[in-house]
Amino acid sequence: MLEALDRARLVVVTGKGGTGKTTVAAGLAVAAAGRGRRVLVAEVEGRQGLAGLFGREALDHREARVADGVSALAVDPDESLREYLERFGFGPLARLLSWAHLNRFITAAAPGLGDVLLVGKVWEASTRDGPRGRPAYDLVVLDAPPTGRVVPFLRAPETVAELARVGPIRGQADRVRDLLDDPGRTAVVLTCLPEELPVTETLEGVAALRGAGLPVGGVVANRVTGDRLGGRAGRLAALGRDPAPLAEAAAKAGAELDHGALATLVGEARDRQRQVARERRLLKELRAGLDGLPVVELPFLAGGVGGPDEVRALAAHLVPDPGDARPAGRARRAAGATRG
């Protein structure tokens, strides 16, 4: 799908709360690493959502290798402030005061500075040089705040810089803006669910991001119900009225299923089909509203997304040709095993 996985230097993942932003960010990181890129995935909301997905207890402010080709980082606002002050030569002073004091003061003097520091840290990681003149990472995936907050978050450096027309904050804000506004280097990906309100919010979110001049790379529709009964709706409806043929098949195979049990099974299947039909309709509306932006669907996993196996399974759905990379091949088998 996402051309961005092969090309972008920074992928910003946002979406309505509860649509699986963190999971998709982890999946995108693993998918890109599977295509040979060196990836850093970073979360900024202090929820420690990434750690479990990579089988870790917790992540901290230091970048840590969590999978083949993937490092992860939980950006800590306090630590970012510390680094920021060190960089500008205020380390000794910062150590003199309590952090609580300092934080309160900085927050009072420049609201939004917290976001500036978080965005700044991500910018720093994605532009940092590594050994032999190569960048430290080919791609940084940012698990960003939800749709409603993402534009002010990404534009925080601008906002604060408006108040400070000169000085280091202004300089950094300009460089961050150059990266974020460049469709050649940055892509914002929105996560969505095949439900009414998330679809509406995704369309609003895309409009808001575009309105702010941020490059939108695509949408990931998460938790899409599998359609294993496709094409047999008519037969199911008939069996709902008269389950006798099913009873006959059951009896022949030695399965002890009375009419009540068969009615339950048919009822569950028809609920499932209604669900699938509704999701199809909503995804069609989503695509229609997105005007050609790529939409990738991820399957609903009945067991939930608890760790690295499921993340690999989802990553396999995010890459254009899942056959060509080893992790993706492994993931496909895992997807077959766990898909609900």
Partner 1 sequence: MTATRTRLRRTAPSSPLGDLARTARIIVCCGSGGVGKTSTAAAVALWAAEAGRRTCVLTIDPARRLAQALGLDLLANSPHPVRLDGLGNGPGSLDAMMLDMRRTFDEVIERYARDPDQADRILANRFYQRLSSTLAGTQEYMAMEKLYELHESQRYDLLVVDTPPTRSALDFLDAPDNLNELLDARAFRLLIAPAQRIGRGYLRGLNLATTAMTKMVRRVTGSELLAEVGEFFAAFEGMYDGFKERAGLVYDQLKHPSTAFVVVATPEGPALREAAYLAGRLAADRMPLGALVVNRIHRAGSVPRVPAAARAKLAAAGADGRLLADLLELHDSLETLAAAEQRRVRDLLETVPNLGVVQVPLLPDDVHDVAGLRRLGGHLFA
Residues 69-108 that bind partner 1 (CB under 8 A): 85, 88, 90, 93, 96-97, 101-102, 104-108
In the complex, what is the shortest distance from the CB of residue 28 to partner 1, in angstroms, rounded to a whole number? 18
The correct pick among 132, 165, 241, 326 for binding partner 1 (CB under 8 A) is 165
Taking CB under 8 A as the rule, does residue 112 contact partner 1? yes
Phi, psi values for residue 75, rounded to 5°: -70, 125
Cα–Cα distance between 16 and 204 in angstroms, integer?
A: 10
Nearest of 74, 332, 24, 67 to residue 189 by alpha carbon: 24
232 binds partner 1, rule: CB under 8 A: yes
Contacts (CB under 8 A) with partner 1, residues 9-48? 16-19, 22, 45-46
The closest of 231, 187, 232, 218 to 297, measured between CA atoms, is 218
Give the count of residues interacting with partner 1 (CB under 8 A): 87
- Contacting residue, 27, 34, 69, 114, with partner 1 by CB under 8 A: 114
Residues 169-228 that bind partner 1 (CB under 8 A): 169-170, 193, 195-198, 200-201, 204, 228
Q: Which is nearer to partner 1, 35 or 222 (CB)?
A: 222
- Closest CB to partner 1 among residues 156, 334: 156
Minimum distance from CB of 321 to partner 1 (Å)? Answer: 28
Nearer to partner 1 by Cβ, of 69 and 194: the residue is: 194
CB 143 within 8 A of CB 25: yes
Rounded Cα distance, 58 and 212, in Å: 34
Chain positions 255 to 284 lying near partner 1, rule: CB under 8 A, are: 255-257, 261-262, 264-269, 271-272, 274-275, 278
Region of residue 304 (left: phi > 0; alpha: psi -120 to 50; beta: else): left
Tokens encoding 190: 């929105």
CB of 289 to partner 1, least distance (A): 15
In the chain, the largest separation of any two C-alpha atoms, in whole Å, equals 83
Tell how far CA 163 is from the center of its chain.
Answer: 32
Identified binder of partner 1 from the candidate list 253, 288, 291, 321, rule CB under 8 A: 253
Residue 335 has which token pair?
């997807």
**Residue 233 interacts with partner 1 (CB under 8 A): yes or no:** no
Q: How far apart are CA 43 and CA 190, in angstroms?
A: 15
Distance CA 319, CA 6 (A): 9
